[in-house]
Amino acid sequence: MNRTFLTAALTGFLTLSGASAATTYPLTLKDDLGRTVTVKAEPKRIVSMLPSTTETLCAIAACEKLVGVDAYSDYPQQVTKLPKMGGLYDPNVEAIIAQKPDLVLVSQYGKLEGPLTQAGITVVAVNPETYDEVFSKTLTLGRVVNREAQARALVTRMKSDIARVEILTRNVVRKPTAYLEIDPTPYSIGPNSFMGVLLTKAGARNIIPASMGDFPKVDPEFIVKANPQLILGVDAKTAGARPGWNSIGALKTGRVVSIPDDLNTMLGRPGPRLPQALRGLAKLIHPELFK
Amino acid sequence: MEAAASDRRGAAGALALPLKTAGLVLLLLSAVVLGTGLGSVNVPPGEVLGALWRGVTGQALAGNDVIVWQIRLPRVVMGVLVGASLSVCGGAFQGVFRNPLADPYLLGVASGSALGATIAIVAGWPRTLIPVTALLLALAAVTGTLALAREGRRFPPNRLILAGVVVGSVLSAATTALILRGEDRARQVLAYTLGDLGFSGWPDVLTVLPYAALGGGALLLLARALDTLQLGELTARSLGVPVERLRLITVVAASVATAGAVAYVGVIGFVGLIVPHVVRLMFGPGHRTLLPLSALLGGALLVYADLLARTTPLSQVGIVTTLLGGPFFLWLLRRQVSE
């Protein structure tokens, strides 16, 4: 335990604010839209408009506080029974207000905070975008809903689970150069994006340099030139049909792997299932480690 | 372009025409050469030529050959085909509707193909099916527009334009509704509706070629009739031009060419609207020069725009054409006025 904790500390540092167990209300914080928000009392009726937020709340024993979720929240099982409030771009504001929430957690995208704030509802925008933010925002959510101790325990658990995968992948002799496609336009992921960090931790060398940004649109000829040994996120048939791609090493050796839907969902969600997503990705890249 | 700009007071001199045509041919050639030579991966000129030689003669491809022969050249050729098709169609539409704001997407081709592509993308069908559904719905959209606009056996221009607007709006709304259903694929749909030449290979080029050749070729043959039509509908009729049939053939031919252009690369804005105007300003309004020269200029411009898209953060050819096309066109208009 102690050793895994040390490795966890290496992978990303975590600021432990005082050892207070309970949140004192009213709580004032700056949210991810840069607004200063005051949460008057412990929220009892929460609407979450982001799947990763929904998962985090449930992972820190605040699931029973949820009275509504967005259309894409589908995990854990029990949230599927909750009333659906629409999606990020077509939220059902009336349905949200009808639930009489004392807190609505939104993302920094979409335009929910305006109408909801006008309706007198407390709105906090929380959305982790980098790897480190997955942990810091978990702690923030813990503070907001008075589950600080649980949030801290969750972060510790996540980091030790991640460290367990990293111990396997870190000393792998051959780390394949990899291209991970998140969208067939094609878009890929840079090494500093949170998915990019997972790709590296899973024991692959990303062909996308940091200079291209976090979610770059890639010129197809760049991929052919980089000649990755592994292609993730495309099926072999699609990849083979693309002009010039048959010359790529990954296609010659048959290392073109499409990512299963459930793993894809986990990878795209900066929430408590991050270690599972990493494990799934590592299994695709280094099946030999998990025999 | 530079040569044309420095050419004082030469709107459409008879002698200047062959010169300027040669200039446009050179511009197109330079676009093809630069488009094939430059990109995110540096390939020295000698290697480019070698790659082309090995590609043409069917020898084994080595090193950067694959990039030049299988990725860049088909992409450049696709750019030429699409740019030429859109520009010729734009010129023909502007002529047949006698409306300077007409563009190839006037009758709902773009919104039809965008809906078709979106259906295929949101449903998660393989990429090879995207152009098929795009093409089918593009042609269906034009058919719908023609049916709405028909008055007995006539197709009055105003009714055609109005019908095109209505069909376009309805299909765009349907596309938006679909995008909201399949949010995780929204980026792909957005890329399509902004126009993108990525992943254009030889098979795609060969698919688009007949549409461009048939549609564009038919339009070039109509040039003289379009010239007569500019004298007014009555005059054209009395000179023996079958106006209704001309309109119908133009619409069908342009729709075929536009649908082919849109099927693979999506909706590239501005080219079809602007290029014919640029050619008109430089060479005068006669369709027998306007249409072929529009094809040359449109092809060249689109290849250059795609080169910019590939090598700068502008990222998509449709963004480049719209961002740069607008200001350039305004500048050209102002220059004309001041002269």
Instruction: Give tens-digit pLDDT for B75-98.
Output: 999 999 999 999 999 999 999 988
B39/A221 touch (CB, cutoff 8 Å), yes or no: yes
Q: Name the B residues in 197-216 with CB < 8 Å from any A CB.
A: 198-202
List pLDDT tens digits, range B166-211: 999 999 999 988 887 776 777 788 888 888 898 899 999 998 999 9
What letters, b where the CB count within 10 A reaches 16 and e where it falls short, cover A60-85? bbbbebbbbbbbbbebeeebeebeeb
Distance (Å, rounded) from C-alpha A192 to C-alpha A181?
Answer: 15
Q: Which helix (H) or strand (E) holds A124?
A: strand A123-125
Query: Are A225 and B41 contacting, i.e. CB atoms less than 8 angstroms apart?
Result: yes
* DSSP secondary structure string for all residues of A141-161: HHHHTT-HHHHHHHHHHHHHH
Whether the CB of B36 is below 8 Å from some CB of chain A: the reply is no
Q: At B244, list the tokens.
A: 């209704």
CA distances from B180 to A116, A212, B103, B133 (A): 21, 28, 28, 19
d(CA B95, CA A170): 67
Q: Which residue of A has its CA nearest to B186?
A: A183
For the cut 70, the answer to whether the pLDDT of residue B1 exceeds it is: no
Exposed / middle / buried, residue B238 (Cβ in 10 Å: 0-12, 13-18, 19+): exposed
Q: What value does the mean pLDDT take over residues B222-243?
A: 92
Among A90, A222, A238, the residue with its CB nearest the CB of B127 is A238
Contact criterion met (CB < 8 Å) for A219 and B198: yes
Helix (H) or strand (E) holding B338: helix B317-338
Say which residue, B92 or B11, is predicted with more confidence.
B92
Structure tokens at A105: 């957690």
Interface probe for A, chosen from B67, B197, B264 (most Cβ of A below 10 Å), is B67
Q: Contact B66/A244, CB-based, under 8 Å?
A: yes
Pairing of strands A103-106, A123-125: parallel
pLDDT of res. A291: 79
Contact check, Cβ <8 Å, B180/A183: no
Interchain pair B72, A187: CB under 8 A? no
User: Is residue B24 pLDDT above 90, yes or no?
Assistant: yes
Q: Give chain B positions within 8 Å (CB) of A183.
A: 185, 187-188
- State how far Cα B82 lies from the chain centre: 5
pLDDT band for position B14 (cuts 50, 70, 90): low
User: How many residues comprise chain B?
Assistant: 339
pLDDT of B127 higher than 80: no
* Mean pLDDT of all residues in B231-256: 91
Within an 8 Å CB–CB cutoff, is residue B74 touching chain A? yes
- The answer to whether B32 and A189 are in contact (CB under 8 A) is no
Q: For residue B237, with 0-12 CB atoms within 10 Å meaning exposed, 13-18 middle and 19 or more buried, which class applies?
A: middle
| Contacting residues of A for B316, CB less than 8 Å apart | 217
Task: Tell me what pLDDT residue A264 has.
Answer: 93
Give the residue from chain B lying closest to A237, CA to CA: B126
| pLDDT, position B4 | 43
Q: Is B118 on the interface with A (CB under 8 A)?
A: no
Least CB-CB distance to B196: which of A90, A185, A225?
Answer: A185
In this structure, how many other beta carbons lie within 10 angstroms of the beta carbon of residue B338? 6
Determine which of A43-52, A256-265, B236-245, B309-318 has the lowest per-residue pLDDT on average: B309-318
Which of A219, A224, A243 lies closest to B310 in CB terms? Answer: A219
pLDDT for A60: 97
Question: Which whole-number Å values give the CA distances from A286 to A199, B107, B293, in the listed order?
Answer: 12, 53, 57
B124 inside 8 A of chain A by CB: no
Q: How far is B83 from chain A (nearest CA, A)?
A: 20
**Which three-class secondary structure state does DSSP give residue A120?**
coil
Is the Cβ–Cβ distance between B318 and B196 less than 8 Å? yes
3-state class of B339 per DSSP?
coil
CB contacts of A221 in chain B (<8 Å) are 39-41, 67, 71-72, 310
The CA–CA distances, whole Å, from B12 to A141, B96, B282 equal 70, 22, 6
Cβ contact, residue pair B70, A187, below 8 Å: no
A&B contacts, CB < 8 Å: 68
- The rounded distance, in Å, linking the Cα atoms of B331 and B5 is 11
Q: Nearest chain A Cα to B194, which residue?
A: A185
Q: Which two tokens stand for residue A225?
A: 């030139």
Of B120, B138, B148, B171, nearest in space to B256 by CA: B138
Tokens of A279: 């494990």
Could you give the CA distance from residue B219 to residue B226 in angstroms, rounded to a whole number? 9
Mean pLDDT of chain B: 87
Residue whose structure tokens are 């480019």: B48
Which of A71-78's residues contact partners 24+ apart within 8 Å by CB, and which partners? A72/B183, A73/A48, A74/A265, A75/A51, A75/A265, A75/A273
The reported pTM is 0.84
pLDDT score at B286 = 93
Report the C-alpha gap between A279 and B296 in whole angstroms: 54
Per-residue pLDDT tens listing for chain A (291 residues) = 455 544 444 443 444 444 456 889 999 999 999 999 999 999 999 999 999 999 999 999 999 999 999 999 999 999 999 999 988 778 999 999 999 999 999 998 878 889 999 999 999 999 898 999 999 999 999 999 999 999 999 999 999 999 999 999 998 989 999 999 998 889 999 999 999 999 999 999 999 999 999 999 999 999 999 999 999 999 999 899 999 999 999 999 999 999 999 999 999 999 999 999 999 999 999 999 987
Run of H or E including A38 = strand A36-39
* Contact list, B66 vs chain A (CB under 8 Å): 224, 244, 247
Quick one: closest CA in A to B70, which residue? A244
- Angle among Cα A165, A171, A172 to the nearest 5 degrees reads 90
Which residues 6+ apart lie within 8 Å of A260 measured at CB?
A: A280
DSSP A5-22: HHHHHHH-------S--S
B104, B164 Cβ separation under 8 angstroms: no
Q: With contacts defined as CB-CB under 8 Å, which chain A residues touch B201?
A: 242-244
